[in-house]
Amino acid sequence: MFQSSFMFQACRINSLRIVPTLSAGLACLLVRVLRIEEKCQCVIQMGEENPSGAKARSGIAALAARQKSCPVTKLSKVFGGTHCLEACLSLLAVVLALAFALPASAQTLDSLPLVPEPEIWTASLFAQNAAPQLTLAQEQDGVGRKATDMSPEGHEPNDAPVVSMFAHSEDSLWWISGQANIILQGDLPFHSPYEGKNSFIGRGEYKTSLVGTLYTALRPNRSIRYATDFVFDLEAAEGRGLSEAFGLAGFTNLDVVRNPNLGKVPYPARYQIHQVFGFTNKTTSQEPGFFALAPSVPVRRVEFRIGKLTLPDFFDVNGPGSDSHLQFMNWTVDNNGAWDYAADTRGYTVGGMAEYDDRVWSIRYGIFAMPTVANGINLDWAFSRAHGQDGEFELRQGLVPKRLAPKRKGTQRILFYANNAHMGTYREAVEGFLNGSDTATYGVTVPTITLHEHFGALKYGMGYNTEQEMTENLRVFGRFGWNEGQHESFAYTEVDQTVLTGFDYTGTRWHRPVDKVGFAVVSNAIKADHQKYLELGGLGFLLGDGKLNYGRENIEESYYTCHAWRGMFYTLDVQHINDPGYNRDRGPVWVGSIRAHVDF
């Protein structure tokens, strides 16, 4: 009996080692195959447009030979197909099945005994083994940083599953970590009687995106009351979004760079100086990370940050609905779509912010550089004429009163913003086109908002954000956003009003304490002047079907994230979009996604 038990434990250990190896290898192989497939499609399309071209024929032959020699092509016959992509997806399904088959107790090697020993079961031993165990869940720490939910005492339980490839010290003076996020998305063909320059393409397609980040931070001293951090992150992004990220206000992949012409060369994503000034010696614990290395901070304090950053790291943070690497993928689910926050094409800006934190509330304010043009990569360094101001009040008290649910945490946030930039107004663009002045002067045939831009133009708005624990495993969340809608959408996306609700649920009940399932519904809208502009054929930096039969853009998204091993996660995601780009004449659209994520 002991021999068979030992062999069973050995098989479990081997399976734990095989699954991550297969997963990592398959992720690399999938990206390589997809690149070959895209090149084949491009060359074949060139051959169809010019069948007599010798270059096209030779290109097709060369790529066909390369695809035929691909090892996945040979493996595809095992799954009854001849397509490399089908074989990769089949192999991925097998690996996911292996990951799901592993019981929760086998998620870490340390929890497996090397040699089984006989046990004498007594009543006390049975009661000890039947006691519930503490589990890990994602939650906000209430100071603008995503943290890991701990036990009720605020300390991580010893048996918590490992969620990164390498362990990180909790009291180190330096930090090095990284992540890689690969998303394969595809949409089915949908009803599309017409398309414009910025339409979401109706024929159906698939695209991949890859984002990799190296996080580093340095803490020059161990002071808690006056802590200092130097932050530097390096990032690289490649791949493209469906329809080149055009045609949807709530686009389906937050990792996609909105300018596909930007290169693949790594770039500095963040560089910051972070300074804490404590007002008391009483401290509270926090999860050390690349934003702040100190394991604890003063209960009452002021924090300053200056440098390059992205605003969603600190504003409008929401535990169940902010992380595109492990949670939802849609732009208007992970962020407030009506919040046109200061950022370049990649989502980063330069500026400074201050934050005051107390026991149950916080307030933060910052001023940041705006892009020179809508969705531009270059920032306007003249803060006197162009800047974005953002302020937020956070109350760490949910919608459910403490007296009714004392153990259930919740948070509410109110956001305000005001942007000054070289922006135009939709009404001026529409009137200039309808009275013929723009056509006579510039020869345009549709309303053109860039002809009516003014320095110092003001766009403002507000947002509300809430999250609430309902049970040990269930969290609900919601957002509301509004902006004045007269000035052009400039930095994030084309939304003037948004309403969002959703939930996530931890897989503790099926013995997968790090797995999560989530569902969200978001409804986006634009104001009348914006509608008229698109109806007459005007183009925004994201939208433009050539005409418009207006309707709210309603989106549902659901996902399941599977924790395979240590810092390796897989996600299946489905999104359904009604009236894409606010156009009732087109859609609905179904988008499916497979995501592989690794935390180092």
Regarding whether 309 and 223 lie in a shared domain, the answer is yes
Q: End-to-end alpha-carbon separation of the chain, Å?
A: 39
Do 339 and 460 lie in one domain? The reply is yes
Domain containing residue 226: CATH number: 2.40.160.10
249 and 101 housed in the same domain: no
What tokens were used for 400? 């459910």
Rounded CA-CA distance 121/130 in Å is 12
Together in a domain, 122 and 187? no
> Do 235 and 377 sit in the same domain of this protein?
yes
Domain tally for the chain?
2
45 and 148 in a single domain? The answer is: no
User: Residue-wise pLDDT tens for the chain (600 aa)?
Assistant: 434 443 434 444 444 444 444 444 544 444 454 444 444 444 444 444 444 444 444 444 444 454 445 444 444 444 444 444 444 444 444 444 444 444 333 344 343 444 444 343 333 333 333 333 333 333 333 333 343 333 333 344 446 788 999 988 888 999 999 999 999 999 999 999 999 999 999 999 999 999 999 999 999 999 999 999 999 999 999 988 999 999 999 999 999 977 767 778 899 999 999 999 999 999 999 999 999 999 999 999 999 999 999 999 999 999 999 999 999 999 999 999 999 999 999 999 999 999 999 999 999 999 999 999 999 999 999 999 999 999 999 999 988 887 788 889 999 999 999 999 999 999 999 999 999 999 999 999 999 999 999 999 999 999 999 999 999 999 999 999 999 999 999 999 999 999 999 999 999 999 999 999 999 999 999 999 999 999 999 999 999 999 999 999 999 999 999 999 999 999 999 999 999 999 999 999 999 999 999 999
Do residues 97 and 163 share a domain? no
pLDDT, position 34: 44
Considering the domain architecture, whether residues 26 and 145 belong to the same structural domain is answered as: no
Same-domain pairing of 125 and 170: no
Rounded CA gap, 464 and 498, in Å? 10
Cβ atoms of 532 and 426 closer than 8 Å: yes
What CA–CA distance (Å, rounded) separates 396 from 376?
36
Question: So what's the pLDDT on residue 260?
Answer: 65
Residue 149 and residue 83 in one domain: no
List the one residue out of 581, 509, 595 whose CA is nearest residue 551: 581
Residue in 79, 133, 106 with CA at minimum distance from that of residue 15:
106
* Residue where one domain finishes, among candidates 130, 147, 180: 130
Domain boundary pick from 106, 130, 154: 130
Q: Are residues 167 and 91 in the same domain?
A: no
- For residues 478 and 573, membership in a common domain is answered with yes
Residues contacting residue 64 through CB under 8 Å, at least 6 positions apart: 40
CA distances to 22, 297, 314, 395 from 141, in Å:
35, 12, 12, 12
Q: What predicted TM-score, i.e. pTM, was given to this entire model? A: 0.76
Domain range holding 250? 138-599
Report CA torsion sign: 46, 48, 53, 57: positive
Single residue among 99, 130, 161 that ends a domain in this structure: 130
